[in-house]
Every structure is written in structure tokens, then in C-alpha cells.
Amino acid sequence: MTSSGSPGLRLYFNCAVIVIGVVGMATNGLILYAMLASKQHKKNVLIFHQNVFDFVSCLFLVITFSLRHWDTHLTGSRGYWVCTILLSGIILSSTLSGSVFNLAMITVERYLRVVHSEWRKAKLRDWMIYSAMAFAWIGPIIYNLAGMFPTTAVRGGVCYAYFFYEFEAAKQIAIFCLITSSLS
């Protein structure tokens, strides 16, 4: 990943993001501990799952931005995998996307609990919730991998993630989709 601009500004930005990630890990870890200690994780499965997503997202935020801060020279297959898995932010973006999907599941579940409580009691099963939770992890990973592997490479020891497109139109469509999905 290359960046332009002041190296000093980049240092402060990376440090601020790392601090935010560490604080997020600490607070989400505390919430997870409290839920486990009080046995609330069994009663509020989706809320517990959301905190797991947030904890893992903060963990990979710290790992990704720490690695980007060091500017290591990448070589060989090890360098390629560090680029594609960590420096590209694929795991971070997958956990963030999964977190959004999990928030939608919480919203639907709470809506059913309040508005259609009889239907929820009769039709909603634990396996449905657990299947949706598994999809919240697997779906974003598959989606992000499909767009990342063909467009990421290491050139001259530098990671270029989402950079190499076979066609210019594909690059423009990817940028358009990224912008429009960020707005919603």
C-alpha cells in the first residue's frame, strides 16, 4: 500500500488509529467478560456476537495499521500473503462488513420480538439465528476475497492492494460500487 503526503501526518494518523483500536479492544473485551460472567451471553446471543465482531475488528485494525506503519519490504510468497491477508485490509473489511450484517440481524430480531412476538415464538428457531451468525462471518470473507486476489500484487517489495484490474472499466465499476456502498 503506497501513500502520498507528509510522513509526519501518516505517523500521527497511524498512531491515532492504533490507539482507537486498542481502546476498542479493551472496551469490547470488558463487555465480553461482563456478559460471560453474568451469563448474559446465552440470553443475548446476537448482542454478544456483535461484541465479538467489534473486538475482532479492533484487533485487526491494530494489526493492519501496525504493519502498514513499519513499511516492511515484502519478498517471496511470505510477502505476498502478508500483503493479501494483512496489509490489504481484507480481514478488517470482512469483520466490519460482518458487523454491519450482524447489526441488521439484531434489528430484525428485535423488530420481530416487539411487533410480531407471537410469530417469533412460533417460527424463529435457534438454528436460524446461528446460521445467520455463521453467514455473517463467511459471506463477507468470500465476497472480499473474490475482489481482492485478482487485483492485489507485490511489486518492488511494496503491497498494491486492489490496484491491478484487467480492464479499466472493471476498475471504474469497483470504485463506483465502493463509493455508493459507503454512502448507504
Three-state helix/strand/coil letters over 84-145: HHHHCCHHHHHHHHHHHHHHHHHHHHHHHHHHCHHHHHHHCCHHHHHHHHHHHHHHHHHHHH
Q: Which residues, in sequence order, are CB contacts of 147 under 8 Å at separation 6+?
A: 162, 174
**Residue 149 clears pLDDT 90, i.e. is over it:** no
Residue 5 has a pLDDT of 60
Is 30 contained in some domain?
yes
pLDDT surpassing 90 at residue 173: no
Q: Is residue 50 part of a domain?
A: yes
Q: Which domain holds residue 93?
A: 7-183
Q: What angle do CA 82, 84, 88 make, to 5 degrees?
A: 100
**pLDDT beyond 70 at 184:** no
Beta-carbon count within 10 A of 156 CB: 8
In a domain, 2, yes or no: no
CATH number for the domain that contains residue 144? 1.20.1070.10
Looking at the structure of the chain, the number of domains it has is: 1
Report yes or no on 154 lying in a domain.
Answer: yes
Residue 1 falls within a domain, yes or no?
no
For the cut 80, the answer to whether the pLDDT of residue 72 exceeds it is no
Looking at the chain, the number of H-run helices and the number of E-run strands are: 8, 2
Q: Answer whether residue 48 is part of any domain.
A: yes
Q: Which of 74, 78, 35, 27 is nearest to 54 (CA)?
A: 27
